[in-house]
Amino acid sequence: MTHPRTGRPRERVLTMRGIGKRFGAVKALTDVDFWVNEGEVVALVGDNGAGKSTLVKVLAGVHPPDAGTIEFDGEPVDIPSPADAQELGIETIFQDLALCDNLDVVANLWLGRELRDGATLDEVDMEQRTWTLLRELSAKIPSVRVPVASLSGGQRQTVAIARSLIGEPRVVILDEPTAALGVAQTAEVLNLIERLRERGHGVILISHNMADVLAVADRVVVLRLGRNNGVYNVADVTSETLIAAITGAVDHSSGRWAPPAATSSATPAAAPVRAAPEPAASDLPHVEPEPDDDIGGTVIRMPRTGSRRLPREDGRR
């Protein structure tokens, strides 16, 4: 099973519906919908406190949600612990990367999952597979036998991403992978994300950097104050629109996010919905169900089944 998913159509891997999570009095997430397809890069954007991290932690099994359902490969699942997330095939790379600086690249990649030859470690096999994987990712690592501490930020990110791929996950979550990186290293990591998409992994990318998001993502999900505030197709969205959605200048949150089943059968899911052009639109009521022209971008509704780019339902349902 070299590339288990390349030949097949882009199928939905993960669907979250109506996710809610509160911490004491704080509603971190309210009725959030989210989905990822195979070979799709979904950017999750939002201001600080918008609930990005909480949503990702729900997926990673760190916080179980209070409300809502999660489907994985069409089956409803619970993710009560990080180990369960990994078992399902959800790998998360947090910002701190969690690498052991004193160990070399091979050791870090296989940590906890070392290949063995009898009772002893099979270093040869591990090193060879490390090279295979790194080449597949077109990663630039000078040597796999140097301590990770001696690598640059981008290379460390590469190692962390490569490590997450050892278990052949379906979904890879990257938390701010480019936050601390320079220009060249950012390009390196974005390149890597492209490789992940080519390999057929569903990628969830949390980022504050709109340039990165527009460069690499297929779809952008905006969260604001713990609610969905629009899902955009990257092909026709500008960073201004995204920023407007992030800051709340555009509000797609309440009325439009009725349960998808209610309307999706009637209208094509990819109904373009108007994003208000100006922050002055605050007097607009939230209920604005009718799609009309818009200058900003296309807001997408959750489709029933996934397709790579636009969730157009072409009778497959």
Partner 1 sequence: MSARGDERLAEQAPDERLLSGSGIRSLFEGFVARIRGGDLGALPVVLGIIVIWTVFQLLNPVFLSSENLVNLTMQCAAIGTIALGVVVVLLVGEIDLSVGSVSGLAAAVLAVTFVQMQWNLVLSILAALAIGGLVGLVYGYLFTRFGLPSFVITLAGLLGFLGLQLWVLGETGSIAIPFDSWIVQFAQQMFLPPWAAYALAAASVGVYAWSRVRHAQRRAAANLVSQSYAAIAVRSGVMLAFLVAAIWYLSLDRGIGVMFLFFLALVVVMNFVLTRTRWGRSVYAVGGSVEAARRAGIRVDRVYLSVFVLCSTLAAAGGILAAARLASANQSSGTGDVNLNAIAAAVIGGTSLFGGRGSAFSALVGIVVIQSISSGLTLLNLDSSVQFMVTGVVLVLAVIVDSLSRRTRAATGRA
Site string for partner 1, 117-156 (x = CB under 8 A): --xxx--xx-xxx-xxx-xx---xxxx-xxx-xxx-----
Of the pair 64, 82, the CB lying nearest partner 1 is at: 82
**149 contacts 101 by C-beta, under 8 angstroms:** yes
Alpha-carbon gap, residue 121 to 101, rounded angstroms: 20
Alpha-carbon gap, residue 20 to 27, rounded angstroms: 8
Residues facing 121 on adjacent strands: 116
For partner 1 (CB under 8 A), the number of binding residues is 45
**164 contacts 5 by C-beta, under 8 angstroms:** no
Site for partner 1 contains 6 (CB under 8 A): no
Site for partner 1 in 59-118 (CB under 8 A): 82-83, 86, 96, 98-103, 107-108, 111-114, 116
Residue 101's CB is within 10 A of a number of other CB atoms, namely 11
For the bound state, the minimum distance from the C-beta of residue 248 to partner 1, rounded and expressed in Å, comes to 34
Residue 126's CB is within 10 A of a number of other CB atoms, namely 21
Of the pair 32, 141, the CB lying nearest partner 1 is at: 141
For the bound state, the minimum distance from the C-beta of residue 99 to partner 1, rounded and expressed in Å, comes to 6
Amino acid at 294: D
For the bound state, the minimum distance from the C-beta of residue 143 to partner 1, rounded and expressed in Å, comes to 4
**104 contacts 148 by C-beta, under 8 angstroms:** yes
Report the interface residues with partner 1, using CB under 8 A: 1-2, 82-83, 86, 96, 98-103, 107-108, 111-114, 116, 119-121, 124-125, 127-129, 131-133, 135-136, 140-143, 145-147, 149-151, 166-168
